[in-house]
């Protein structure tokens, strides 16, 4: 426990230092790569190409603003696909439509005990080791996807955008699965979108599909209001459809259907595009039924998260994420692989409680060139179960990685990564695992 608290304090200091010393005025290497990707976009006019040079120049500026809106989205994750290669635009540049996608292939090799599944999650490290699965080679197309986006402006409703995003992470990592489907009108977002409690942009770069084991980037059907003040300050609040993960091992205690929405909120300061510090929170209602006593019980879940992404130098990017709470395990992190929103009380099997969970992640990325960088990342998730819980119960998971990422062309990239994972149980029994990853991706 004390180690986790020390890590939280160290991470908080890193967040403050990143915001204080960031060189916001300089054009950084990641920004330069975004400009290269923007220049590779092909524009197709749907109602006639403008003929005069002044209009063409104005269109070009409008196109750059649209693409910047895509890449500097508040809730964009590093693994999300690039902006569409083909962009259909109206003559007045008031409406644009993009249809795009990505083809992504990963191959990986596990040793010192294979992790089941294509995602390298410390929670899934088997204890004890399975002697029949100590090494493993496999591949997956997970992350390959298609998306559709419209961005426009109307004199009545103002700016708006529509987005549908899918990827092949469904059945056996090959079935098409809906990832996002939402509409944004000015400051309002309605639909299946990334939770307000999440900050995907502040998650360190990880090639493996699981990412950091402290990653909160879940999606939910929501209604969000998020205005911006003075082009730097953001506040947001949302009502989100709940999805709880309740202990199902006891016959005398049963989960109830969700009947109240989650309430999430954030406050953010952004000193440059793609650089910010954010404080977010979420409140939840978690319910269960004591079958023996024929009584229903409602418990409060809550979570707080402090996160930041900053570029203190032209070639350097830092990522920091700290979080803690009760009853938030089902929203992400290593704990989403289990049922940890509500756990059975060891001293009273007819009652459930909300366990405390803590987590942190840190990342450092250095761009040798705009299209080539290396990064290191580390993260940890800790579950504080009550005394008397099974000795085989999860206590702590640790993840670390080092990778190299090269954009051979603006839309063609290759990457390699070494992952390290460790799971520790309440009994203090622990195991380590290793994975080597390679990836090739093409966006269109």
Cα(438)–Cα(442) distance, rounded to whole angstroms?
A: 14
Higher-confidence residue of 249 and 114: namely 114
Q: Cα separations (Å) of 101 from 32, 83, 84, 86, 150?
A: 22, 8, 7, 11, 14
What the block records as the tokens of 444 is 């269109």
Share of the chain above pLDDT 70, in %: 86
Query: Quick count: other Cβ atoms within 10 Å of Cβ 85?
Result: 18
The per-residue pLDDT for range 336-350, each reduced to its tens digit, is: 888 888 888 888 888
pLDDT of residue 93: 56
Section 324-335 average pLDDT: 88
Residues 6+ apart with CB under 8 A from 73: none
322 and 337 Cβ atoms separated by less than 8 Å: no
Cα(192)–Cα(183) distance, rounded to whole angstroms?
A: 9
38 and 370 Cβ atoms separated by less than 8 Å: no
Cα(432)–Cα(125) distance, rounded to whole angstroms?
A: 8
Higher-confidence residue of 410 and 171: namely 410
Q: b/e for 106-137, b at 16 or more Cβ within 10 A?
A: bebebeebbbeebbbbbbbbeeeeeeeeeeee
pLDDT of residue 365: 95
Cα(301)–Cα(286) distance, rounded to whole angstroms?
A: 7
Cα(279)–Cα(265) distance, rounded to whole angstroms?
A: 9
pLDDT of residue 182: 94
> Which of 44-48, 194-198, 304-308 has the weakest average pLDDT?
44-48
Q: Quote the pTM value.
A: 0.88
Q: Is the pLDDT of residue 78 over 70?
A: yes
pLDDT of residue 43: 75
pLDDT of residue 20: 44
DSSP, res 36: H
DSSP, res 416: E
Section 6-32 average pLDDT: 57
Q: How far is CA 400 from the centre of its chain?
A: 17
The per-residue pLDDT for range 213-258, each reduced to its tens digit, is: 888 888 999 999 999 998 889 999 999 998 887 776 667 788 888 8
pLDDT of residue 444: 83
Higher-confidence residue of 89 and 178: namely 178
The per-residue pLDDT for range 275-296, each reduced to its tens digit, is: 999 999 999 999 888 888 888 8
pLDDT of residue 23: 46
3-state helix, strand, coil in the chain (%, to 5): 15, 50, 35
Q: Is the pLDDT of residue 155 over 60?
A: yes
What the block records as the tokens of 273 is 């595009």
Please give the sequence-ordered ranges of beta strands (E in DSSP) within 18-84, or none if there are none: 42-45
110 and 122 Cβ atoms separated by less than 8 Å: no
320 and 15 Cβ atoms separated by less than 8 Å: yes
Q: How far is CA 310 from the centre of its chain?
A: 17
Can you name the residues that pair with 264 across neighbouring β-strands?
Answer: 238, 282
Residues 6+ apart with CB under 8 A from 37: 67, 71, 82, 83, 410, 411
pLDDT of residue 435: 95
The per-residue pLDDT for range 353-412, each reduced to its tens digit, is: 999 999 999 999 999 998 999 999 999 999 998 887 888 889 999 999 999 999 998 889
How high is the mean pLDDT of the chain? 84
Cα-based torsion angle of the residue sequence 119, 124, 125, 127 in order, rounded to the nearest 10 degrees: -160
pLDDT of residue 224: 97
């Amino acid at each position: 426990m004390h180690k986790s608290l020390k890590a939280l304090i160290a991470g908080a200091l890193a967040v403050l230092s990143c915001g204080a010393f960031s060189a916001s005025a300089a054009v950084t290497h990641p920004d330069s790569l975004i400009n290269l990707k923007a220049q590779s976009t092909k524009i197709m006019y749907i109602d006639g190409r403008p003929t005069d040079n002044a209009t063409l120049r104005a269109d070009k500026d409008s196109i750059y603003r649209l693409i910047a809106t895509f890449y500097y989205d508040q809730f964009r994750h590093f693994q999300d696909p690039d902006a569409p290669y083909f962009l259909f635009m109206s003559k007045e540049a008031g409406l644009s439509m993009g249809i795009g996608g990505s083809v992504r292939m990963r191959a990986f090799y596990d040793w010192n005990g294979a992790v089941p599944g294509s995602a390298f999650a410390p929670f899934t490290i088997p204890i004890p080791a399975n002697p029949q699965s100590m090494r493993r080679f496999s591949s997956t197309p997970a992350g390959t996807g298609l998306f559709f986006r419209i961005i426009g402006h109307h004199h009545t409703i103002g700016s708006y955008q529509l987005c549908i995003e899918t990827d092949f992470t469904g059945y056996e990592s090959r079935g098409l699965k809906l990832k996002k489907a939402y509409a944004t009108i000015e400051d309002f977002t309605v639909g299946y979108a990334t939770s307000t409690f999440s900050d995907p942009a502040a998650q360190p770069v990880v090639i493996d599909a699981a990412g950091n084991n402290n990653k909160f980037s879940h999606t939910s059907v929501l209604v969000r209001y998020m205005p911006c003040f003075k082009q730097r300050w953001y506040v947001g609040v949302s009502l989100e459809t709940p999805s709880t993960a309740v202990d199902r091992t006891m016959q005398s205690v049963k989960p109830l259907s969700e009947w109240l929405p989650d309430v999430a909120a954030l406050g953010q300061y952004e000193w440059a595009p793609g650089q910010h510090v954010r404080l977010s929170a979420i409140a939840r209602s978690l319910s269960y039924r004591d079958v023996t006593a024929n009584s229903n019980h409602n418990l409060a879940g809550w979570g707080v998260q402090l996160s930041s992404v900053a570029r203190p130098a032209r070639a350097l990017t830092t990522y920091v994420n700290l979080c803690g709470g009760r009853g938030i395990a089902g929203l992400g992190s290593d704990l989403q692989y289990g049922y940890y929103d509500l756990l059975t009380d060891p001293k009273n099997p007819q009652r459930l409680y909300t366990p405390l969970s803590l987590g942190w992640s840190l990342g450092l990325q250095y761009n040798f060139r705009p299209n080539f960088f290396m990064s290191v990342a580390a993260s940890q998730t800790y579950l504080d179960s009550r005394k008397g819980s099974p000795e085989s119960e999860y206590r702590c998971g640790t993840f670390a990685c080092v990778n190299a990422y090269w954009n051979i062309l603006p839309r063609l990239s290759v990457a390699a990564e070494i992952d390290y994972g460790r799971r520790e149980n309440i009994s203090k029994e622990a195991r380590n695992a290793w994975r080597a990853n390679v990836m090739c991706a093409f966006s269109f």
